[in-house]
């Protein structure tokens, strides 16, 4: 178990990571993820592939997801601890994802998901308890909701049942930050995660949004959950359509699964 996007235990976003030698069934993986009951459990398995070294899948307690940042960072951290050398190339449902070391951070290379403006879904403002300033859809999965300021982001106590009626994997709520370029929170009751502590995949939407707003391609971000976590973001000029997400991680437990 690893706390991702934090250098200290009991902060950031916890993920369970299983490094496996053999194939497994979807039902078994879903059951294990439900047993751990964290926002994501990662399953890494070495494969023979010219483009990737490991298959990587992520499960919430309810469903498999196509992209997860913090559990990817956690998996790379675990591989480093057991002696596997970087770079780490993962075959995933979102294509090949690469993680490299750079100084004291690991950097994930992910596809961006720029948000396109949409009308606010009926009931969104009431469910959040805040009026949207701007609403967009990032890819096909998430809604991006800009609100007035950082204080609004931090004070949200949304109606989870009402949020679950919104057509989205998750709802990213964001505003400009005082100590960071942006702050955000991420709510995903539709996939069994009322609030995710730190969401790497949400920043594939946030990075291009705030880069355009601020006119910069290197950004700092803070996810303002109760645990909290910090990320660095880079939109590389030599790789359009990609975002590099930097963070640290710390192992809090390891052991043997007896099922």
Catalytic residue among 11, 22, 35, 40: 40
> Residue 131: how many CA atoms within 13 Å on its side-chain side?
2
| 115 in Cβ contact with 212 (< 8 Å) | no
> Any catalytic annotation for residue 81?
no
Q: In degrees rounded to 5, what are phi and psi of residue 211? A: -60, -40
DSSP state of 191: G
**Phi-psi region for residue 28, left (φ > 0), alpha (ψ -120 to 50) or beta?**
alpha
- Within 17-57, residue ranges assigned H as helices are 26-36
Kindly list the distances between the CA atom of residue 38 and the CA atoms of 8, 30, 165, in Å, as whole numbers in the listed order.
18, 12, 22
Show the CA angle centred on residue 221, arms to residues 176 and 99, nearest 5°. Answer: 150
What whole-number distance in Å separates Cα of residue 158 and Cα of residue 176?
A: 20
| 200 in Cβ contact with 72 (< 8 Å) | yes
What whole-number distance in Å separates Cα of residue 225 and Cα of residue 153?
A: 9
- Within 11-121, residue ranges assigned H as helices are 26-36, 69-81
Catalytic annotation, residues: 40
């Amino acid at each position: 178990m690893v706390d991702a996007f934090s250098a200290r235990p009991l902060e950031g976003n916890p993920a369970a990571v299983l490094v496996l030698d053999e194939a497994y069934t979807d039902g078994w993986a879903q059951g294990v993820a439900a047993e751990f009951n964290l926002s994501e459990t990662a399953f890494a398995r070495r494969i023979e592939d010219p483009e990737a070294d490991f298959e990587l899948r992520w499960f919430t307690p309810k469903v498999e997801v196509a992209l997860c940042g913090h559990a990817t960072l956690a998996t790379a951290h675990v591989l480093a601890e057991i002696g596997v050398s970087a770079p780490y190339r993962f075959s995933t449902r979102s294509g090949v994802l690469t993680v490299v070391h750079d100084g004291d951070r690991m950097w994930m290379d992910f596809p961006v998901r720029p948000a396109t403006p949409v009308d606010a879904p009926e009931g969104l403002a009431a469910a959040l308890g805040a009026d949207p300033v701007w609403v967009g859809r990032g890819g096909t999965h998430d809604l991006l909701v800009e609100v007035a300021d950082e204080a609004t982001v931090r004070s949200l106590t949304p109606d989870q049942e009402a949020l679950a009626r919104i057509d989205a994997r998750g709802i990213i709520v964001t505003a400009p930050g005082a100590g960071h370029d942006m702050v955000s929170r991420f709510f995903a009751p539709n996939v069994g995660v009322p609030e995710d502590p730190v969401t790497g995949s949400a920043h594939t939407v946030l990075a291009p949004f705030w880069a355009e707003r601020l006119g910069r391609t290197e950004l700092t971000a803070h996810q303002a959950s109760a645990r909290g976590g910090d990320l660095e973001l880079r939109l590389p000029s030599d790789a359009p359509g990609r975002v590099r997400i930097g963070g640290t991680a710390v192992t809090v437990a390891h052991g043997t699964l007896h099922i």
